[in-house]
Amino acid sequence: MKKYVLIFSAAALGACQPQTATKQEAKTDTAGITSRPVTVYTTADSTSYRITPTDTLSFTDRAQPFETEPCVFVDPAATFQQMEGFGGALTDAAAETFAKLPQAAQDSLLTAYFDPVKGIGYTLGRTNINSCDFSSDSYTYVNEGDSTLATFNLAHDEKFKIPFIKKAIAASGNKLSLLVSPWSPPAFMKDNNSMLQGGKLLPAARQHWADYVVKFIKAYEEKGMPVWALTVQNEPMAKQRWESCIYTAEEERDYIKTYLGPTLQKNGLDSKKLIAWDHNRDLVYQRASTILEDAAAAKYVWGIGFHWYETWTGGNMQFDNLRLVSQAFPDKHLVFTEGCKEKFNMDSVNNWSLGERYGYSMINDFNNGTAAWIDWNVLLDEHGGPNHVGNFCFAPVHGDTQGGKLVFTNAYWYIGHFSKFIHPGAKRIAASSSRYFLQSTAFRNTDGSIAVVVMNTSSQHIPFNLWIKGKAAATESLPHSIMTLVL
């Protein structure tokens, strides 16, 4: 018998800095920080805890700990990158699934993701320019062959995607901004005359394509959907059976400096954050260095985007490559632009490993300089779609469109341990764990509050001290859990 996790009310929830740490100019008020109570929020396997307040701690004097005493050491004076925000992708698939749900489920989903108090407070969303694999069909916004773009219109998006995005913006209190990404130019602009199976942008179409992207951004903004950033191309080194387009590092560099960058600037869109790469961590340094070592291209580039799918080779996530980019180019921003668990199976929605994959990636991405973190689809149906090429995947929330209910995986709660408590403008501060099984990161918000995230990937109860400059608060990490300690 299949077991589904059904939604309960979301109301139950209550400029990049260099990667090298810098000490705050003003002396950090450590005594004031450690005089505060610490509220602990927990999500744990084999419990009912889901971002649940589970304890209130107090600091006491604690001298040098012995190596036998597990600790998470936090230094609020050592600051790193600034957080831009958290979010997920508002794709065609998410919008179409949303439209099939009853009003109560729709409202619950919007609250769960975008309400900063009752939900987990997303402030960023990613959406596709033209179709992607998570669309029900392949489409563009112009008639085939129209290089003048005279036929450009958003009729396709008006049916599902635009209404969904507008509802998400409203649910966020108008604080949601969009990252927009193309999977492929129209077929007539490519050398394989297809939106699928890779191919390359024709040299003669480069200016037409840059104009197309500008036209899309302006059209979305005219409809009340603010665009925060754009990527040059989704996964530019992957020939996919769905929408895809190949750029070598040199081709992306030259397209940015000769076409896309100047076209954005000429059209008054130079304030949009241009993000290069938008593919896996494996090649991220090679791509970043090729583009950013060219001053004519680098001046247009705000950041480097990356995904987590380098694990397709059977290896682990390659966080060291992020650290290298952050160290080599400290004035640029690292942005996680996509990740999900592939090969969907509804019988696996209760697997605790789904959330732990998110927690592991997020902690290590942040600790290696990442300044924004955007999940893939915010919502998919009970089949892991819709998807026009059968590339079905997991999302943090699935819509049971037959039963009219929402199915939450624990990935939603794991993401929420970051996005609910770490706000735009927060700066990462030093957090160091003395135990491998206690992975941690910490941020100081603009209001002075501190959020320390601690994830336990073991099957053991692990008592530990949250230790700040000779003061410690004793607590315990439950097996296979994630906790956020808020000061």
Instruction: Catalogue all structural domains in the chain, each as residue range(s) with its CATH number.
Output: 30-81+429-486 (2.60.40.1180), 85-424 (3.20.20.80)
Residue 7, pLDDT score:
37
Give percent above pLDDT 90 in the chain: 94
- Check 84, 243, 251, 338 and give the catalytic one: 338
Question: Between residues 66 and 24, which one has the greater pLDDT?
Answer: 66
Q: What is the Cα–Cα distance from 400 to 381, expressed in whole angstroms?
A: 6
Residue 17 confidence (pLDDT) above 90: no
Residue 5 confidence (pLDDT) above 50: no
pLDDT tens figures, 351-391: 999 999 999 999 999 999 999 999 999 999 999 999 999 99
Q: Which of 483, 466, 366, 471 is nearest to 29 (CA)?
A: 471
342 has catalytic annotation? no
Residue 23, pLDDT score:
57
pLDDT tier, 10 (very low <50, low <70, confident <90, very high otherwise):
very low
Tokens for 14, please give them. Answer: 């209550």
Amino acid at 229: A
- Mean pLDDT, rounded, for 380-407: 98
pTM of the predicted structure, to 2 decimals: 0.94
Residue 3 confidence (pLDDT) above 60: no
Residue 27, pLDDT score:
54
- Check 84, 96, 235, 310 and give the catalytic one: 235
pLDDT tens figures, 215-268: 999 999 999 999 999 999 999 999 999 999 999 999 999 999 999 999 999 999
Residue 11, pLDDT score:
38
410-419 vs 353-367: helix crossing angle, rounded to 10: 30
Distances (CA, A) of 247 to 233, 234, 235, 236, 254: 8, 10, 9, 5, 10
Residue 26, pLDDT score:
40
338 has catalytic annotation? yes
